[in-house]
Amino acid sequence: MDIQENIINKVAQSGLVSFDLAELYPQGDRVLYDIKENLFHGLMLREKDFREFIKEHNWEQYNEKHVAITCTADAIVPTWAYMLLANRLAGFATTVVFGDLQQLEIILFERELEKLDLEKYRDQRIVIKGCGEIAIPESAFINLTVKLTGISKSIMYGEPCSTVPIYKRKE
């Protein structure tokens, strides 16, 4: 006797909308520019030397890259120095921010989340995907949750087959 059972995909029938933050990941290399390399004896920045560096440096190496500017040395760096770097990088880099590579990722995701058309998530049951190949900053999950709260019917975290409830609109 040959009995064939139909397998029912209950996840597909549930009406859940899966949101994968990794899909917002901006492509491009990430570069940390540490101004400590420009410090005189690792202590201070000399304006004349720094301006010469700004003129002579190969800025094309930052073409279409995401650049974070920082100083890891315990030194006082004048604001104008960061501004000069930003000014030169602006003609080449896709993104220029102050901070470390983690701060760069946070800012990149914030910018991508700002571009989202939230209307397509109105009154939807959303599952925000949790695990993946790309490391997503926690701030991106928080920002997305804030944006979807009140717009969506519900927000869950995880995979459609195993979720943690985050928000459910009171009807």
Q: What digits encode the pLDDT tens for the residues 79-90?
A: 999 999 999 999
Let me know whether 82 and 51 are in one domain.
yes
Question: Which residues lie closer than 8 Å to 3 by C-beta, 6 or more apart?
Answer: none
Please report whether residue 15 resides in a domain. Answer: yes
User: Which among 140, 36, 28 has a CA at the least distance from the CA of 93?
Assistant: 28
Let me know whether 22 and 36 are in one domain.
no
Please report whether residue 1 resides in a domain. Answer: no
Residue with tokens 């030397």: 49
Model confidence, pTM: 0.84
pLDDT at residue 154 tops 70? yes
Cβ count within 10 A of residue 107: 20
Q: 59-62: long-range contacts at Cβ-Cβ below 8 A with a sequence spacing of 24 or more?
A: 59/88, 59/89, 59/91, 59/92, 60/92, 62/31, 62/33, 62/89, 62/92, 62/93
Let me know whether 138 and 87 are in one domain.
no
Domain boundary residue, one of 93, 117, 132: 93
pLDDT of amino acid 13: 45
Mean residue pLDDT across the chain: 91
Question: Structural domain of residue 140, as residue ranges?
Answer: 10-26+109-168
CA distance to 13, 123, 128, 157, 165, per residue, from 153 (Å): 17, 5, 13, 14, 12
Please report whether residue 101 resides in a domain. Answer: no
Helices (H), 116-160: 138-148
DSSP codes joined into one string, 27-66: -S-EEEEEGGGGSBTTTB--HHHHHHHHHHS-GGGGTT-E
Q: Span 51-64, mean pLDDT?
A: 97
Q: Span 114-141, mean pLDDT?
A: 93
Q: Kindly indicate the confidence band of residue 3, based on its pLDDT and cuts at 50, 70 and 90.
A: low
Let me know whether 14 and 44 are in one domain.
no
Q: Regarding predicted confidence, which is higher, 146 or 162? A: 146
pLDDT at residue 171 tops 80? no
Q: Kindly indicate the confidence band of residue 10, based on its pLDDT and cuts at 50, 70 and 90.
A: very low
Q: Span 110-125, mean pLDDT?
A: 95
State how many domains the chain has: 2
pLDDT at residue 156 tops 80? yes
